[in-house]
Structure 1
């Protein structure tokens, strides 16, 4: 009986050393795309939550568990007890997003910051990159809380969040592709556009075929043959109007023929 009381007092003393902060983590209230996806969700940043309880060297962790495993989760007393992401299916929980108080300041400029849980796909199969913030493997549901730790173990924690359910991807067999489920206006517009595209394409092909056939039947134009026979280097001719044309040179006069010599006849 005495040993049981001592054990109970020791456990109560250990529990009393952990400060419970009246803060409930939640999915961010910001209007944003992908707030909750099939493998991630965005938490509101716990700014100003740990300022009066932790030191600058203390570590702040995020605990992620399945909803039905919150009661069995035990806060680690040292860094070696921190459950990694790779053991989620065996321990039903893991700790990630190791940070310090400097990441959650009381700054109005960072009041709208968010924490994306499950955002690191590169460390999914790499045990050397722990603590890994890998993608969540199922729709859940999940619950989270923040823990502050020093060299002696856990010293402060928040409350558990409410259940967080991820989006479930729809199987391709269940996607309805039957045209009867579509609106009449959409079907009419689709049919008209398809017909117009077909007519334009057919007209273009007919025009191309007709021009090719005409060139093949008629041969090259006549002016092409004439251009080939013409001087390949045509010269331009022009008249100079300011200078009168030179008259033709007259032919030279005929040369004088010598007179015949007179001979005297002897009598």
Structure 2
């Protein structure tokens, strides 16, 4: 009985070793790297751009084989095991727990042997819509931290891993800056920014000086001419009685004095005889 169990165990171990040998992918002497094209944002706070593996898998894979991108933190690169089948492919959510995932599923037709490769890059971490949606797989979600990360391309068929590239060097993302640490000193501003600021300040000063000059000029004109000449004559003191000037009416003749009291009245002379 024990001999039978030992024989079975040896058979299982042999089968496991054979499976590992058969599923071991052929290593291609190609190292993925961040693109050296003159491109802004090659590395951001949550993404980075790679050169596509054009003409790398042509002699090793078929048109129906899948080509994946494996993304890991640098501390788990050596312990990462290639999946034996499609059910073992680690999704994007594994990056937060097992620190590795596979994304950018494609085929050989996506990486043709073009001589002109300018303008073509693979943006890792470019899909924010699938971050919290497990139904969207494979997900190329944003990377959660600066890393550093390592990546490699892995080709798979129905039997498992078939061919792979070497691991890239460490890729560190840009780290966001807190608003409190932003230096607003003018000395760190660009020359164009300083020129624009000076011009705007000068224009504001000219407008202010023009406004003040206009106000001062109007006030000076009012002070220089003074009030109208007949202003004092037309204005009357509210506590002074009215006075009428009658120079246009001739003076009245003097009134004769009354007759004395002992003077008799006029005598009547009779004319009859």
- Common fold by TM > 0.5: yes
User: 2:37, 2:118 within 8 Å by CA — same for their partners in 1?
Assistant: no
16, 19, 32: which is aligned to 1:25?
Answer: 32
Note closer, same or farther for the CA distance 1:191–1:118 as it changes in structure 2 (3 Å cut).
Answer: closer
105, 108, 115: which is aligned to 1:108?
Answer: 115
* Pair 1:202 & 2:175 matched: no
Note closer, same or farther for the CA distance 1:86–1:188 as it changes in structure 2 (3 Å cut).
Answer: closer
20, 24, 29: which is aligned to 1:14?
Answer: 20
User: 2:32, 2:151 within 8 Å by CA — same for their partners in 1?
Assistant: yes
2:85 aligned partner: 78
Note closer, same or farther for the CA distance 1:209–1:126 as it changes in structure 2 (3 Å cut).
Answer: farther
Mapped to 2, the partners of 1:169 and 1:16 lie a distance apart of 45
Note closer, same or farther for the CA distance 1:30–1:201 as it changes in structure 2 (3 Å cut).
Answer: same
Pairwise CA distance, 1:91: 1.5
Question: What whole-Å deviation, never above 9, does each CA across 1:122-178 have from its counterpart, x for those lacking one?
Answer: 111111111011111100000001111111111111111110000111111212224
User: 1:44, 1:112 within 8 Å by CA — same for their partners in 2?
Assistant: no
Aligned pairs (5 A) from 1:164-243: 164-178=171-185, 181=187, 193-202=199-208
User: 1:139, 1:166 within 8 Å by CA — same for their partners in 2?
Assistant: yes
1:264 aligned partner: none
Pairwise CA distance, 1:7: 2.5
129, 153, 177: which is aligned to 2:136?
Answer: 129
2:270 aligned partner: none
1:43 aligned partner: 50
Mapped to 1, the partners of 2:94 and 2:67 lie a distance apart of 20
Question: What whole-Å deviation, never above 9, does each CA across 1:31-51 have from its counterpart, x for those lacking one?
Answer: 211111111111111011111
SS of the equivalent of 1:128 reads coil
Mapped to 2, the partners of 1:165 and 1:187 lie a distance apart of 31
Mapped to 1, the partners of 2:83 and 2:150 lie a distance apart of 17
Note closer, same or farther for the CA distance 1:62–1:186 as it changes in structure 2 (3 Å cut).
Answer: closer
User: 2:146, 2:172 within 8 Å by CA — same for their partners in 1?
Assistant: yes
SS of the equivalent of 1:197 reads helix
2:60 aligned partner: 53
Pairwise CA distance, 1:15: 3.4
Structure 1: runs of 5 or more not aligned: 211-267
Pairwise CA distance, 1:108: 1.2
Mapped to 2, the partners of 1:91 and 1:4 lie a distance apart of 31
Pairwise CA distance, 1:200: 3.5
SS of the equivalent of 2:101 reads strand
Note closer, same or farther for the CA distance 1:114–1:178 as it changes in structure 2 (3 Å cut).
Answer: closer
Mapped to 2, the partners of 1:186 and 1:97 lie a distance apart of 42
Note closer, same or farther for the CA distance 1:50–1:177 as it changes in structure 2 (3 Å cut).
Answer: same
* Pair 1:141 & 2:173 matched: no
Mapped to 1, the partners of 2:197 and 2:97 lie a distance apart of 55
Larger Cα Rg: Structure 1 or Structure 2? Answer: 2
Q: Aligned residue pairs: how many?
A: 211
Structure 2: runs of 5 or more not aligned: 1-5, 217-273
Mapped to 1, the partners of 2:193 and 2:33 lie a distance apart of 44
Mapped to 1, the partners of 2:65 and 2:195 lie a distance apart of 63
